[in-house]
Amino acid sequence: MAIGTTIKKARKKAGLTIRQAAETIGISEPSFSRMENGYNEFSVQRLLRLAELYDVSPSALLENSIVAAPSKVDLNRMRQVVETVQAVVNRMKARTSPEKMGLAVSEVYRIEIEHIIQDPKAEFDPKRHQSLIEAMFRK
């Protein structure tokens, strides 16, 4: 897949029109369209601006693998999961390995993501995961 096609796909995924994207990075609609269609080259600076606009990593655009950058909500939720797992482990006075901690955090985060998909406005509730975490660290 050509980079122009990837940029177009990222723009559509971000829900932006050619006009909106072009205005944001400071070029004309026809220039932007030519860029997406592979007729115009673009600078590294423009690539960085597009990645920021589309909330993806610059390397994702270059590698043709659009992966959304984690949002502040995602990062905050991950922090809450890590803090919750650590608090339960501390309360239990459990001795654990980094691998087991990583497994617990990733499993709780996976469950939390599924919960968010079902209810996007749901707040994080550590009680929802307490019994699972305790089961993972029982001797």
Decide if pLDDT at 20 tops 90: yes
Q: Residue 67 has which token pair?
A: 């992966």
Q: Max Cα separation, the chain?
A: 65
In the chain, the N- to C-terminal Cα span, in Å, equals 51
- Check residues 40 and 25 and name the one with the higher pLDDT: 25
Q: Residue 96 has which token pair?
A: 């654990």
Superfamily of domain 3-62: lambda repressor-like DNA-binding domains (1.10.260.40)
- Check residues 117 and 35 and name the one with the higher pLDDT: 35
Three-state SS at 105: helix
State the Cα–Cα distance between residues 51 and 24, nearest whole angstrom: 12
Looking at the DSSP bridge assignments, the partners of residue 56 are 68
Q: pLDDT by residue (tens digit) across 59-95? A: 778 777 665 556 666 788 899 999 999 999 999 999 9
Number of C-alpha atoms within 13 angstroms, CB side, residue 15? 0
Position 127 scores a pLDDT of 95
DSSP 139: -
State the Cα–Cα distance between residues 130 and 133, nearest whole angstrom: 5
Give residue limits of the domains in the chain.
Answer: 3-62, 72-137
